[in-house]
Amino acid sequence: MRILIVDDEPAMHDSYRRSFARQRSGSGDALDAMAAELFGTRLAEIDDRPEFDLTYVDQGLDAVAAVARSQVDGDPFAVAFIDVRMPPGLDGRETAKRIRALDPEINLVIVTGFSDFSPVEIGKVAGPVDKIFYIAKPFEVAEITQIASALVRRWQVDRELVAVRDTLAAQVVQLGEQAAELAANESRAIHIATHDSLTDAPNRLAFLRALAERTRVGGLFATVMVDLDRFKLVNDTLGHLAGDALIREVCAILHRSAPDDALVARLGGDEFGIMFDAESEAAAVMACDRIVVACSVSVQVFGNSVQGGASAGLVVTEGGRGYDPVDVLRRSDLALNDAKRGGRGIVRVFDESMDEGIRFRRRVEGGLSQAIAKGELSLVYQPIVSRDAIDVVGFEALVRWNTQEYGLMSPATFIPIAEESNLIHELGDWVLREALEVLKQWPGQYVSVNFSPRQFRRHNFVGHIMQSVQRAGIEPARVQIEITETAIFDDAERAADTLYKLRQMGFRIALDDFGTGYSSLYNIRKFALDCLKIDRSFIDGMGRERESAAIVHSIIHLGRALGLGVIAEGVETEAQVQALRLAGASHLQGYFFSRPVTADIALDMARAGILDGKDDIAGDSAPLGRLGLGVRG
């Protein structure tokens, strides 16, 4: 370690040399021999004082120059011993000031037999004071060597701390960059998931989300579905690129002609959705008439003049009354169909006579209330397998209803009807009870049960679930509770508390249909989850749409980064299996491995523990897998 000696007296230089010289008494050789015999080493070898590299100068200016060179060479001094009086050049105070300006980290030791300057005066110009020390002349050898050793070690520690702080600062910057990149990726993924790739307008998912929010707020609002007239003719005669150009042009027209603050979305194909607040039904009709007229213009597409035209279906709804957004959109679609049947280029307003479906829903609701008593309900089970070994780790319980009037009815039909009434609680209790009875026979797999938003918001939901599990004699860890993002979005604080209690009791928590709802990084971090289930629509689109593949990869990477399992639903092809394995999905589920099967076949699968081949178990042969979403439909 380098030490700078600044003193104008040659005799003092000699004193420093003697002080720093490693000297032993005359008995040194004998002591060395004894140390070698007792410890296997010599005293000279166990001297732990650091090696000092001493530089001597006579004047302050020489000292300043030496420090400047050390900074350029990258070999700085650890300590400088400075005399106060060094005529005719700089005194010790000025020398210390200039050295400190060049090297803020050096430790300064003021050595003097006089009191020309007080420590306070020197500290003001050569501080900080914790790096300035004082020794009076004449000094003792031990005094010089001990303070030199202590300050050298302190200098080393200070440099190491600086290096550690620099490393930590760099890591903090890196973590910040990674967080920003993750947030940007999330933002891009959300934008891809909620916007149409052709027009960059909101898509059907975003429109339904906005519609759901609007139905919860009071006041009249209009929901309009617009469909282009004779669009197929453009595609057939001018090609699909011309059709795409026409779609983009019409989307721009709709944005210009729709009322202020209206939401314009592309729902798919040549179909658009528009939503806006309305003072009355008559005012909404007038707004739709303007939109239809605006679309009835000639549009230039790749040098060809195309006559535009559109039909519109309108429904005006009073918000805040609990209307189902899907039903609102369906009614608008019924009105649109009537408009197209009426001659195109017109606006039709929905009325109840258009909706045979309402009567159908009432008949379904009446039949569902008797379904349990009549023994018309049953459960089937679809295995959930590990990514690599194809081990059967669990089964998702899916409800089926074989009606007397309509035959086998899809859950996608009757679950929403049950959800709108209190029948969902009775139905959900039956599903959980039946699934737990079957689970008792399995050797170790878990059962995954879907719970609707209304069930999840049920009073004392946690206590009800725990009571059911205890009554069945099942460990909570063997029950996976599947909920959707919609179930937890309305009251996030209450949902977070409910999920935390369930996790504390040992239940597994899965966020179903992930990517289609309201999730964000904040929600995922906030809620107690075990795994994410990728919605089957993204899996189905992986081979056709770059956006779907990007969303799937983003969800998997996000889940893995947060320590969550990721289950891919709706896996139907070998290509999907390989892609999902490479992407890192932890578990797979779908027709490729097995259709939903009856309880006895599920028991055979559970006991076997693995699947020998894809879809080789006979069972529920009807094509219900895409609709078998448990008690949600």
pLDDT of 226: 96
Bridge partners, residue 76, by sequence? none
Cα distances (angstroms) measured from residue 123 to each of 128, 153, 258, 445? 7, 22, 75, 74
| Total domains, the chain | 3
Residues 255 and 305 in one domain: yes
Ranges of beta strands (E only) in 25-77 are 53-57
pLDDT above 50 for 620: no
pLDDT of 612: 60
Residues 385 and 348 in one domain: no
pLDDT above 60 for 257: yes
**Residue 185 belongs to some domain of the structure:** no
Confidence of residue 516 (pLDDT cuts 50, 70, 90): low
Choose the most confident range, by mean pLDDT, from 77-86, 441-450, 457-466, 535-544: 441-450
Q: What is the mean pLDDT of residues 30-59?
A: 64
**Residue 193 belongs to some domain of the structure:** no
Cα distances (angstroms) measured from residue 442 to each of 281, 326, 450, 478, 600? 58, 38, 19, 10, 10
Q: pLDDT tens digit string along 129-160?
A: 888 888 888 888 888 888 899 899 989 898 88
pLDDT of 288: 96
Q: What are phi and psi of 311, to 5 degrees?
A: -120, 155
Last residue of a domain, one of 102, 132, 162: 162
Residues 299 and 426 in one domain: no
pLDDT above 60 for 562: yes
Q: What are phi and psi of 269, to 5 degrees?
A: 55, -125
Task: For residues 426 and 100, give the distance between their C-alpha atoms in angstroms, rounded to a whole number.
Answer: 82
Higher-confidence position of 159 and 396: 396
CATH number at residue 516: 3.20.20.450
Element (H, E) at 167: helix 141-194
pLDDT of 450: 95
DSSP state of 406: T
Last residue of a domain, one of 354, 384, 414: 354
pLDDT above 60 for 267: yes
Residue indicated by tokens 């040399």: 17
Task: Report the C-alpha dihedral over residues 196, 201, 203, 204, rounded to 10 degrees.
Answer: -140
- Report the alpha-carbon angle 180-536-235, nearest 5: 95
Residues 454 and 508 in one domain: yes
Task: For residues 519 and 493, give the distance between their C-alpha atoms in angstroms, rounded to a whole number.
Answer: 14
- Per the document, the length of the chain is 633
DSSP state of 129: G
Return the SS3 of 151.
helix
pLDDT of 134: 86
Residues 600 and 469 in one domain: yes
Residues 347 and 386 in one domain: no
Least confident segment among 38-42, 81-85, 118-122: 38-42
pLDDT of 597: 96
Last residue of a domain, one of 354, 386, 415: 354
Q: pLDDT tens digit string along 315-327?
A: 999 999 888 999 9
Bridge partners, residue 398, by sequence? 380
Q: What is the mean pLDDT of residues 370-396?
A: 91
Residues 457 and 604 in one domain: yes
- What's the per-residue H, E or C state across 603-623? HHHHHHCECCCCCCCCCCCCC
Higher-confidence position of 77 and 616: 77
- What's the per-residue H, E or C state across 441-488? CCCCCEEEEECCHHHHCCCCHHHHHHHHHHHHCCCHHHEEEEEEHHHH
Residues 153 and 234 in one domain: no
Residues 325 and 452 in one domain: no
The answer for 42, left when phi > 0, alpha when psi is -120 to 50, beta otherwise, is beta
Residues 528 and 383 in one domain: yes
Task: For residues 310 and 227, give the distance between their C-alpha atoms in angstroms, rounded to a whole number.
Answer: 6
Task: For residues 123 and 2, give the distance between their C-alpha atoms in angstroms, rounded to a whole number.
Answer: 23
Return mean pLDDT, the chain: 86
CATH number at residue 17: 3.40.50.2300
pLDDT above 60 for 280: yes
pLDDT above 70 for 114: no
pTM as predicted: 0.50
Q: Quote the domain boundaries for residue 208.
A: 204-354
Residues 443 and 570 in one domain: yes
Contacts 24+ apart (CB under 8 A), 548-554: 549/579, 550/189, 550/192, 551/189, 551/192, 551/193, 551/515, 552/579, 552/580, 552/583, 553/583, 554/185, 554/186, 554/189
CATH number at residue 334: 3.30.70.270
pLDDT above 80 for 93: yes
Task: For residues 422 and 420, give the distance between their C-alpha atoms in angstroms, rounded to a whole number.
Answer: 7
Least confident segment among 309-318, 365-374, 375-384: 365-374
DSSP state of 79: E
Cα distances (angstroms) measured from residue 36 to each of 25, 45, 48? 17, 10, 17
**Residue 368 belongs to some domain of the structure:** no
Q: Where are the alpha helices (DSSP H) in 258-398?
A: 281-295, 325-341, 356-374
Residues 411 and 501 in one domain: yes
